[in-house]
Chain A
């Protein structure tokens, strides 16, 4: 072992080196190019860029050396990192310090050495950039200058790498913050909707009792306030769904004219007495299209609602025109025009931004959250459409947007208005633990003319179900003793009852609906529920053809290709899948609960390959998302949802495979 000098600031120097995360990384073109440059500039056969840690000199890039690292004690660069400028030894044989060095007398046969320290911006020499030759040599000033410049560039490259990494980390942090915000919003809205459910429901019921004028007036106010509050909460929930990419535009055939007339009738009641409210439909406008009826409704109600609110006299006109027709679609221009207060010119650009209204005083005078137009814009854009506004202060505004709908062959099946008379007398069982909700549902159901029994939890529900004959079960999802899923599972798989079950839940989280259907439920009513929606769900659940179950079909083509037609082998693989995968799901859920990111990552990764073999693309995608989040060592609420989907999906697949 030879002695070598150690810089005074060695510890800080090592810490600085560590910061760059450069040691033992894969080769990088930028560094290789710099090394080549050194070799060309100095005309030497050996050149390298290296970093020195506590025990070794590691070559990020080298020419003519052929190893990736050497022990620290044998390198000349130990002296270079002690210096602030270039070290040049023209002839090692004439140097007292080096003439007997093993790498001079043998080894790399170093006769000429030039090394520039790689100095961090805060002054630590973490490595060197070197030119080495087997013959005596002297660099000229240009060459020396060039070497220093290359060394500076190498440092800049390193800095850039850490900056990029920092940026990447920052971006991940920002993305996580957005996720956290979204899940906070979703959870908050959920918490607020639950009590609101009770307020709106009981107010509804109270309004149907005998009241004097003053009481009616009070109840009206409570109803309006309650509904406004619900709209605000739904707005917030919509926004968080749009932001997190969880809001999908449905593609179902619907009757466009009816939808527009429905919006018109709905809002007609809000028209002030000096305002004329018109609906103009282009004669060429298609009757039926494929698209998202609910979202079109939402856009129009929002825009028209605004116009009506801001127009004291004159008119509000909704018009729809066909602007383009192609082989498979129509582009329509929807316009909402009013003669209201208008929008100042300087606010036109920002009118679609969140929490922006025409004037500061608008909120005070007209109320509103300032979220509506932002949601409208995002909804139109989710339709791949665009929205514009024209306005003049005190003259009026026109909001118009273009949406392209697909053509449909099918006439929308006329949905009969729900009337309780068709259903006869029903006996319904409600499983619900919240006493307020029990009372609310009981009153509503009795209003429909049905009979209702109440069970405070799933266990009691099952007992009642085994004693009495019911036509339908209304199932809350969160209950003590046995929750809605467990109860449904028991009814379906232990009791083998096919009685229709409708989930009632205040969660409005994505994926839950799917989980309900997977669990074997037939319908889903979000709370706070509207009486007619509940009635409709009951009707649908009862009249629905109990046809072949909507099942997943497994595509064996990949496995078949692998098995080359060998049925035994295929069976063996299916067996292996059945043996492994349920355990892995359980392990995954367990590891998720313990926030064991590493195990989650490994499991999700491994499961992905198995899922791919059975071409379960949707589940494999879930596994990918889970793996990615685990890699970032942070789970968002979305992941719980993905794990649920994965869990249900695999349960389904296992059932199907077992039945083969």
Chain B
């Protein structure tokens, strides 16, 4: 299973991808939203894991692009430190499958990833 991870905080990104790789996923990591979107356009990923606030373009824009322009229904999980309810509503509105507030619990993240991947077999 191939996951793309877009997150601009180095420590969090490296930790998350180390964690996910330890669980058997292959992870492509990006700290810039634009680079991540370019990779999404060129490769096939089973799941997208993205932060909202990033340099380049935001996770919201990535999600919107994936749904509207690429017409893809690849599972999207949005990570954010925003505690604002509207952010969560907006995330679902533009087509994200999951919304996880930071700090992200690795165990919870894993469960949600597996759930999204399994229901799509």
Contact = CB atoms under 8 A, between A and B. Distances in A.
B22 A605 contact: no
Contacts of B11: 573, 576-577, 580, 609-610, 613
Given A561-B106, A561-B107, A605-B53, A566 B9 contact: no
A605 B93 CA distance: 24
Interface in B1-40: 7-12, 14-16, 18-19, 22-23
Interface string A568-599: 01001100110010000000000000000000
Interface residues of A, number: 25
B82 to A, nearest CB: 10
Contacts of A613: 11-12, 15, 103
A27 B91 CA distance: 11
Given A609-B81, A613-B15, A580 B106 contact: no
Contact of A562 (B8, B15, B81, B94): B15
Contact of A26 (B7, B10, B22, B94): B94
B95 to A, nearest CB: 11
Nearest to A609: B9
A489 interface: no
A297 interface: no
Contacts of B94: 26
B107 A562 contact: no
B73 interface: no
Interface in A452-496: none
Report, nearest first, the 4 A-B pairs whose CB atoms are least far apart.
Answer: A609-B9, A612-B103, A562-B15, A564-B22
A562 B18 contact: yes
A580 B12 CA distance: 13
A26 B96 CA distance: 14
A563 interface: yes
B102 interface: yes
A608 B81 CA distance: 8
Interface of A: 26-27, 558-559, 561-564, 566, 569, 572-573, 576-577, 580, 605-606, 608-610, 612-613, 615, 620, 624
Interface in B77-100: 81, 90, 93-94
B115 to A, nearest CB: 19
A284 to B, nearest CB: 46
A29 B102 CA distance: 27
Given A26-B90, A558-B103, A561-B106, A610 B12 contact: yes
Given A561-B106, A612-B102, A612-B103, A26 B93 contact: yes
B32 to A, nearest CB: 13
A562 B103 contact: no
Nearest to B9: A609
Give chain B's interface residue range (CB within 8 Å of chain A). Answer: 20 to 34
Contacts of A580: 10-11
A657 B16 CA distance: 21
Given A609-B9, A609-B12, A613-B12, A566 B18 contact: yes
24 contacts: A558-B103, A559-B15, A561-B105, A561-B106, A561-B107, A562-B18, A562-B106, A563-B18, A564-B18, A572-B14, A573-B15, A605-B81, A606-B9, A608-B81, A609-B7, A609-B9, A609-B81, A610-B9, A613-B11, A613-B15, A613-B103, A615-B103, A620-B103, A624-B81
A216 to B, nearest CB: 62
Contacts of A563: 15, 18-19
Contacts of B93: 26-27
A562 B16 CA distance: 7
Interface string B63-79: 00000000000000000
Contacts of A615: 103
Contacts of B14: 572-573, 576
A566 B15 CA distance: 11
Contacts of A610: 9, 11-12
Contacts of A564: 18-19, 22-23
A572 B11 CA distance: 9
Given A563-B18, A569-B18, A605-B81, 8 more contacts: A559-B15, A561-B19, A562-B19, A609-B12, A609-B81, A612-B103, A613-B12, A624-B81
Contacts of A573: 11, 14-15
A164 to B, nearest CB: 12
Nearest to B86: A26
Contacts of A624: 81
A610 B107 CA distance: 18
Nearest to A67: B68
Contacts of B53: 605
Contacts of B81: 605, 608-609, 624
A563 B106 CA distance: 10
